[in-house]
Amino acid sequence: MPIYEYHCDKCNRDFEYLVIGKADPVCPDCSSTSVCRLMSACGFVSKDGGGETVGRTAASSSCSGCSAASCAGCGH
């Protein structure tokens, strides 16, 4: 069950939602279903054939203002 990031068109809030089956996401602040899915940073590390890291996870690129792995979590 994936967790997706959404934006509420009614109250302008970004939030994460655990998708179970074909359930429609609902804004936790205003209960609106008028939401759109956001592009999320993927969390993986890519290595070349020699074991050298050539990519970083979303967590390694978070801002210094918080410890969140995604700016949707802290609003930065």
Return the CATH fold of 1-51.
Rubrerythrin, domain 2 (2.20.28)
Give the tens place of pLDDT for each residue, 6-36: 999 999 999 999 988 888 999 999 999 999 9
Residues with Cβ within 8 Å of residue 24, at least 6 apart in sequence: 33
The verdict on pTM exceeding 0.85 is no
DSSP for residue 74 = H
Task: Give the separation between CA 43 and CA 24, rounded to whole angstroms.
Answer: 24
Which residue in the block uniquely carries the two structure tokens 């999320």? 40
The answer to whether 32 and 12 have CB atoms below 8 angstroms apart is no
The domain ranges of the chain are: 1-51
- Burial environment of residue 8 by CB neighbours within 10 A (0 to 12, 13 to 18, 19 or more): buried
Query: What's the whole-number mean pLDDT along residues 40-46?
Result: 69
